[in-house]
Amino acid sequence: MTEAFVKATNELDEEDFQLLYGRWDPLEPGQVADLLSAFAGRWWIAGGRAARVGAPERHHDDTDVAVSGGHLEELRAIMAGWHLWEANSGSLRPLLPGTPITGSCEQLWARRNAQEPWQLDILLDRSEAEWVFKHDARVRVPWERALHTVDGIPYLRPEIALLHKSHLNRPKDRADLAAAQLDPDSRDWLVRMLEMLGRDSWLRLMRQ
């Protein structure tokens, strides 16, 4: 989930979270690829699944899927059989057909209907010519370097997924860092970015 929603809900344990928002049963990356096979915009798997590509798996509460925000209406058309909800600063609001999205919203949750679990956490990425880190626009990466394809599925590269996670610094984020399979160039890039952003606690973890 995005940082804004995590901050608003991080006091809830899993049981209380599900009582308030409902349960999750996330799609697997292959199922996401099938769902978005006709989507013409750029999309990719992000979050913990991206950070752990090639590493031992863990349980994932959700599946983070980033899409180009400029293709939102096409996404809504492809997912016309789904219920999309805005997840914005700790609040959920149904994105009803024909209703414009709130300008500040960067995240959607998707489920079939109220009797079904949430299955997708959709992140609206505003990057255009290149991938831009939303927390600091100095961090920019060409798309061909930001994404890679594994088993036919596009993923955010692990070092970039981990840079996102360094801001949250939860136990599972640190576990993802420890498990990540980073080549020397990817590791060096992550260290440089952490140094630039002043993420000292993660720098210490990487240097242990």
pTM score, whole prediction: 0.90
Residues 141-160, mean pLDDT to the nearest whole number:
97
Nearest to residue 41, comparing CAs of 127, 161, 160? 127
Q: Average pLDDT of the chain?
A: 91
Q: How confident is the model at residue 2 (pLDDT cuts 50, 70, 90)?
A: very low
Amino acid in position 152: G
Q: How confident is the model at residue 10 (pLDDT cuts 50, 70, 90)?
A: low
Helix (H, G, I), strand (E, B) or coil at 112: coil
Domains with residue ranges and CATH for the chain = 3-157 (3.30.460)
Place of tokens 């020397």: 184
To the nearest 10 degrees (0 to 180), the angle between helices 158-168 and 184-197 is 30
Please give the C-alpha separations between residue 206 and each of 37, 42, 131, in angstroms, as whole numbers.
37, 31, 24
pLDDT of residue 95: 96
Residues 110-131, mean pLDDT to the nearest whole number:
95
